[in-house]
Structure 1
């Protein structure tokens, strides 16, 4: 079963997690429009929201997909490939 993660942005409302970018960095998008993207850096004390463009977000997801494929993490790769298709195509 897939786990969905959400965050509440102070200005843009509910965001859903697209993928993990690297440790302590995740890519989120606005829930309904999927036009605004944020890299969220989290540590023990706070969350930092870095807005990025759609093309930059797509590159982050594609880079993560390459890393998963090269690492042999095929289940995670398949899940991310579906998220990529739903989000960017």
Structure 2
């Protein structure tokens, strides 16, 4: 079973999910360049894309890594750690 999630952004094309960024929010990045990041919110009005910078996206991933490490989900931690190293 694949845990990869993709979205099609109206202007930037295919995005892949990097990690959960909070309640009802996920961090996505452009598939090929890994240079543009978006917080994607899914609520009653639909999907919304908020562009964010590399520094903020790096902080979100680091926070998620700390949380996962504390909860003991080793497989998820290793996957996100690999993505982190490839991206930053």
TM-score between the two structures when normalised by the length of structure 2: 0.91
Separation of aligned partners in 2, 1:72 and 1:54: 27
Shift of 1:45: 4.1
Determine helix, strand or coil for the equivalent of 2:48: strand
What residue number does 2:6 align with? 6
Alignment partner, residue 61 of structure 1? 61
TM-score normalised over the length of structure 1: 0.90
How many residues are paired up?
88
Describe the SS at the equivalent of 2:34.
coil
Indicate whether 1:79 and 2:82 are aligned. no
Between 38-47 and 24-33, the greater mean CA deviation after superposition: 38-47
| Whole-angstrom distance in 1 between the partners of 2:15 and 2:65 | 21
Partner of 1:51 in structure 2? 51
Taking the TM superposition and a 5 Å limit, the aligned residue runs for 1:21-36 are: 21-36=21-36
- SS in structure 2 opposite 1:11? coil
Gaps of 5+ in 2: none
Q: Which consecutive aligned stretches of 4+ in structure 1 deviate over 6 angstroms post-superposition?
A: none
